[in-house]
Amino acid sequence: MHKEYLTVSNIVGPLVIVEKIADVKYNELVEIEDSRGRLRRGTVLEVSTDQAVVQVFEGTVGLDIDKSRVRFLGRSQQLPVSEEIIGRVFDGSGRPRDNGPQIIARKRLDINGSPINPDARDYPSEFIQTGISSIDGMNPLVRGQKLPIFSGSGLPHPRIAAQIARQAKVLGKEEKFAVVFAAMGITFEEANFFIEDFRNTGALERAVLFLNLANEPAIERIATPRLALTCAEYLAFELDMHVLVILVDMTFYAEALREISAARKEIPGRRGYPGYLYTDLATMYERAGRIKGKKGSITMIPILTMPEDDKTHPIPDLTGYITEGQVILSRELHRKGIYPPIDVLPSLSRLKDKGIGAGKTREDHADVLNQLFACYARGKEARELALILGEAALSDLDRLYLKFADLFETEFVRQGEFEARTIEQTIELGWKLMRQLPKKELKRIRPEYLEKYYSPA
Amino acid sequence: MRQGKIIRVAGPLVVAAECLGAKMYDMVRVGHLGLIGEIIELNNDRAYIQVYEDTTGVGPGEPVVLTEKPLSVELGPGILGSIYDGIQRPLDVIRARHGDFVSRGIEVPALDRERRWPFEPVKKVGDRVLAGDIIGYVQETPLIQHRIMTPENGDGEIIEIKEGEFQVEEVVCRIKKDSGEIKELNLFQVWPVRKQRPVKERLMPFEPLITGQRILDTLFPLAKGGTACVPGPFGSGKTVVQHQLAKWSDAQIIVYVACGERGNEVADLLLSFPELKDPNTGRPLLERTVIIANTSNMPVAAREASIYTGMTIAEYFRDMGYSVALMADSSSRWAEALREIGGRMEEMPGDEGYPAYLASRLAEFYERAGKVVCSGSEERIGALSVIGAVSPPGGDLSDPVVQATLKVVKVFWALDDRLANMRHFPAINWLQSYSLYRDSLKKYLAEKVAEDFVELSQEAMKLLELEAELQEIARLIGLESLSYKERLILETARSIREDFLHQNAFHPQDTYTSMRKQYLMLRTILHFHHRANEALEAGKEFNDIISLEVRDRISKMKYLPEEEETLLQVEKEVDASFKTL
Ligand SMILES: Nc1ncnc2c1ncn2[C@@H]1O[C@H](COP(=O)(O)OP(=O)(O)O)[C@@H](O)[C@H]1O
Ligand SMILES: [Mg+2]
């Protein structure tokens, strides 16, 4: 058995300090039994010859100094996995919450994972058709990409994420796939929305859920996404499945991390978040990808709500620095009643270039995309100018661009929540809008494609 | 070997006692796993160690083995085409031996010990050599000849030199020093990464590093041996600029340090480099490239070391007399690693929590760039250009890393979110950016590109500045308030921006433009401008001028092949079309 310590000297926020210890290791899993026999878990954040700082997942409410019993388990936190994990629902610490049995472990995996050797990575290049024009046409997603949604409170990110999960497919392929869903700090209603949607489409049977809801311990959220990603790695790289991971809401995750950092009295970085937030997020986001010689893949859609809709807030900012692009939602479009309110200009897919084009989507896709961006940007500029000086002050050409921007929002971006457009339809829609403009304005399109596609078929 | 004992573990920082006699920046092996670490502070018998691998499972009481050697790199044949982690462990070898995920405590030499290299001596018995002299060659890749140099303290007389195929550890040459001591040379040297390699003399840069990127070469050129930084928010194009330089710049050796950024960006390099061909020799670009990859999910302390590992390798090739370019993407991640370790040591933080020595470390780093006379008795000239990406939070240029970098580098390529959102790439803001080399490169550009090249680029710059002023007026009181000459300036500036500065890195033709073509493109655009001005003076209709079909031709020049005749043709068409007015 493991040695037991009754030497807690300090309890600060989510942290417990244990004294007079021996043979304790950094990042080791800890079990704490309170005076009523209830067990909690934690990990060692820092250890010196006679003292360990332990972060308690379930929080420290009800713990006391003299009766808490602490055991160091000699290993880091693990997730038991087997094929049986598919279709199951767990809490934020990985315990079943669906009244099902414990998973009989085929393997126990360290939830922190190990970095993928950069030399082992296969470059993601398979186009995923989500059926959403503002994504497929403008910021295409590929298998193995990590593409977050930057949202704001009250914006319809759950509906968009669910629509992607429902409609996403790789053209011309039927392969084993799974959804891994991790909820951190979201409400029961929001979580339930996803679960019902997965149930209705039959995806639930191929999903694994890890739920830490708003009323559940905040510190547990540190482990939740790691459990989900460990599960995803198992499904993708050992069972050859194509896994879509949805992490929602990364903002609450980062707040939990901030709480721990504050309790440790670390020097805070921007807005009180710890200086290592970037590294911490990266060790999770970088678990998405493809590996040479492996069939499966991990595609990741982390969702976060930007505090005050501010993209420069540390959480979206650092996320954007790590992920392979971002889909940004706009409150302005939402107010105009446009669903999905995707703001295409600041949105970006960094991996699109090898995922689109002849044989993948369509030969003219890259040019169309570049041209639509340029035209919409110019149209929005014209709209701003018209606001200041009145529409009459615009040149004829700028008026055309203004009209283009309006149509782009109402016809291209706007679509039904259950409308799945093919990539062909999306590109054609782009051409339909571009025909509003004189041919010679379309400078980003190669002459041969202009010849071929500008005049309506 | 001597041992200390761990007394504290806090993430990447380990403190050990009983280390009296250890030296700053010595390497150590930490714990039972033998993790690699480096001493970064000493206090009595305590050593503060940054550990280059994840410290999970390491605890007090475990040993710390003192190697009594500083963190060093191996410099010899086999570096080119390699991909290393931040402390020069070959990631391809690690993958072959240990699988797709990086595990811990791995020890693999940087240079392949088995491989045999053909060594061709150029010195003979009896020759006197100085440190830095070339004693022979190894044709490392078809593209690059590896020049084997005498190491530091290698002065003396050659008493033996061999020819043939050797492994890197085999002795190929023996030197008798004046003291009588015999020095044996094999094919590689070991050099501590934090120590600058010596040079004989530093020179002023005068030759541009040609990148094929129009806005860089024409408006904000970098010199061979110069320094540049590329700051910008995420998604503004830092990495694409760095990749473009790695692919197309006319340096002979590229050292690419992927420091704390994305794994897939490294995969992208590894995928594209073997396919991309050197425009001059037709050989795969990988043959002149070294990649140091310590991605964001890899241990943070090794990220701190990675830029020094890259820099030392770059200096070594510079010492051979090559023109080397080093890209670091991103220096901010290096600074954050410094901050993270500093924070764990409970140092007094400076600005934004960065350690107070941030600025001096950055300055030291960029000072290792330069155009130099290499050490040795031969008058070899080498150049080391350094380009650092900077990733300020929220794109805010008041960030301490940006500010400290701007104080030392001579070229500033300011990336602009707004341009990136409009997909105007490279999203380099032409009003904010600058190059302090413009004057020193003038002569070279006039001689090698065209007499009027610098004037044209200055005129283009002037028009862009005027455009900004005129746009401001138009925004306030409307376009109608401008004269036709002013409106022509707006039209030409737009043409400079869209037809010249805008350059698509992913278009096969557009991705690279020779200096000659850059010159002809700009000359044609400005020629149109001058002709249009004359036409206005001659009373021609503004709308007729700007509707000339030839403008469409100008806008497509970027897609034309690199053929003198074809390019000159457009200028002739400009003249012809003005005749039709
Ligand atoms: N010169 C360019 N041509 C075409 N696209 C570009 C260019 N520069 C940047 N981009 C686009 O912008 C995206 C982001 O660029 P990147 O260099 O990764 O940004 P950063 O490193 O600043 O985050 C790229 O994925 C690409 O789509
Ligand atoms: Mg980048």
- Per-residue model confidence as pLDDT tens digits over B441-455: 999 999 999 999 999
Assess whether pLDDT exceeds 80 at residue B279: no
pLDDT digits (tens, 9 = 90+) for B311-367: 999 999 999 999 999 999 999 999 999 998 888 888 888 888 899 999 999 999 999
Q: Do B100 and A118 touch (CB under 8 A)?
A: no
Q: Quick one: tokens of B259? A: 């420091």
Average pLDDT over chain B, rounded to an integer:
94
**CA of A20 relative to ligand 2 center, distance in Å:** 46
pLDDT band at A171 (very low <50, low <70, confident <90, very high): confident
Per cent of chain A over pLDDT 70 is 100
Considering only CB atoms, B267 lies closest to which of A122, A278, A279, namely A122
Q: Which member of B59, B339, B498 has the closest CB to residue A443?
A: B498
CB B135 within 8 A of CB B104: no
Q: Which ligand is nearest to the CA of A145?
A: 1
| A-to-B residue pairs, Cβ atoms closer than 8 angstroms | 209
DSSP tag of A336 = T
Question: Which ligand 1 atom is nearest residue B420's CA?
Answer: 12
A286: nearest CB among B11, B296, B394: B296
**Residues B64-75 pLDDT 10s:** 999 999 999 999
- Mean pLDDT, residues A126-148: 96
Residue A380 has pLDDT above 70, yes or no: yes
- When mean pLDDT is compared across A54-63, B251-260, B568-577, the lowest value belongs to A54-63
Structure tokens at B459: 């005129």
Which residue among A118, A326, A348 sits closest to B263, beta carbon to beta carbon?
A: A118
Q: Where in chain B is the domain with CATH 2.40.50.100?
A: 112-187
**What pLDDT does B479 receive?**
79
Chain A residues in contact with B10 by the CB 8 A cut-off are 26, 45-47
* CB contact at 8 A, B245 and B253: no
- d(CA B337, CA B344) in angstroms, rounded, equals 11
Interface of A with B in 323-382 (CB under 8 A): 324-326, 345-346, 348, 350-351, 353, 366, 370, 373-374, 377-378
Closest listed residue to residue A198, CA positions, set A155, A168, A221 = A168
- Return the residue of A nearest to B417 by Cα: A346
The answer to whether residue A140 neighbours chain B at the CB level (below 8 Å) is no
Ligand 1: residues with CB < 6 A are: A 348, 350; B 232, 234-240, 425-426, 503-506
Q: Identify whether the C-beta of residue B221 lies closer than 8 Å to the C-beta of residue B393.
A: no
What chain A residue is nearest to B96 in terms of C-alpha separation? A120
- Residues in chain B within 8 Å Cβ distance of A48: 7-9, 15, 60
pLDDT at B476: 84
pLDDT, residue A393, reads 81
> Between A277-285 and A224-233, two packed helices, what is the crossing angle to 10 degrees?
30
Q: Which atom of ligand 1 is nearest to the CA of B261?
A: 21
Question: Is residue A94 pLDDT above 80, yes or no?
Answer: yes
The residues, ordered by sequence, that sit 6+ positions from A368 with a Cβ below 8 Å of its Cβ are A137, A427, A430, A431, A434, A445, A449
For chain B, the first-to-last Cα distance in angstroms comes to 88
Residue extent(s) of CATH 2.40.30.20 domains in chain B: 3-70
A170 strand-pairing partners? A128
Q: How many A from CA of B240 to the centre of ligand 2?
A: 7
Percentage of residues of chain A with pLDDT beyond 90: 83
DSSP strand pairing (B370-373 vs B201-203): antiparallel
Per-residue pLDDT at B280 exceeds 80:
no
CB contact under 8 A, A370 and B422: no
Which pLDDT score, from 0 to 100, does residue A389 have? 82
Q: Is the peptide bond before B426 cis (omega within 30 degrees of 0)?
A: yes
Residue A408 near residue A371 (C-beta atoms within 8 A): no
Taking CA atoms, B93 is separated from A237, B100, B144, in Å, by: 21, 11, 22
Residue A267's pLDDT band (cuts 50, 70, 90): confident
Q: Which atom of ligand 1 is nearest to the CA of B233?
A: 22
Closest CA to B489 of B511, B507, B462, B508: B462
Confirm or reject contact between A262 and chain B (CB < 8 A). no
Distance from CA of B199 to the nearest CA of A (A): 34
Measure the CA–CA gap between A378 and A360, rounded to whole angstroms.
29
Determine the distance in angstroms separating the CA of B279 from the nearest CA of chain A, rounded to an integer: 23
Q: Which helix (H) or strand (E) covers residue A425, if one does?
A: helix A423-434
Q: What percentage of chain A's residues is helix, strand, coil (to nearest 5)?
A: 35, 25, 40
- Mean model confidence pLDDT for chain A: 93
pLDDT above 70 (res A457): no
Cβ separation B235–A276 shorter than 8 A: no
Residue in A190, A160, A131, A156 with CA at minimum distance from that of residue A301: A160
Distance from CA of B146 to the nearest CA of A (A): 25
Q: Which residue of A has its CA nearest to B98?
A: A117
Closest Cα in chain A, distance from residue B352 (Å): 6
Closest CA to B110 of B309, B296, B295: B309
Does the domain formed by B112-187 have CATH 3.40.50.2000? Answer: no
pLDDT band at A159 (very low <50, low <70, confident <90, very high): very high
Look at residue B567 in the predicted model and tell me its pLDDT. 96
Question: Is A390 at the interface with chain B, CB within 8 A?
Answer: no
How many Å apart are CA A396 and CA B361, to the nearest integer? Answer: 55
φ and ψ at residue A332, rounded to 5 degrees: -65, -45
Q: Where in chain B is the domain with CATH 3.40.50.300?
A: 201-436
Identify all chain A residues contacting B233, using CB atoms and an 8 Å cutoff.
312, 317, 320
Confidence of residue A1 (pLDDT cuts 50, 70, 90): low
CATH topology of domain B453-579: 1.10.1140
Assigned CATH for B3-70: 2.40.30.20
Contact flag B263-A321 (C-beta cutoff 8 Å): no
Percent of chain B residues topping a pLDDT of 90: 88
- CATH 1.10.1140.10: which residues of chain B? 453-579
Look at residue B109 and tell me whether its pLDDT is greater than 80: yes
| Ligand 1 atom 11, closest CA | B237
CB contact under 8 A, B11 and A348: no
Select from B106, B148, B278, B5 the least CA-distant residue to A114. B106
- β strands within A267-370, DSSP E: 290-291, 297-305, 325-328, 348-349
pLDDT tens-digit series, residues B281-301: 788 989 999 999 999 999 888
CATH class, B201-436 region: alpha beta
* Mutation site, B14, B56, B286, interface A, largest A CB count within 10 A: B56
**Model pTM?**
0.94
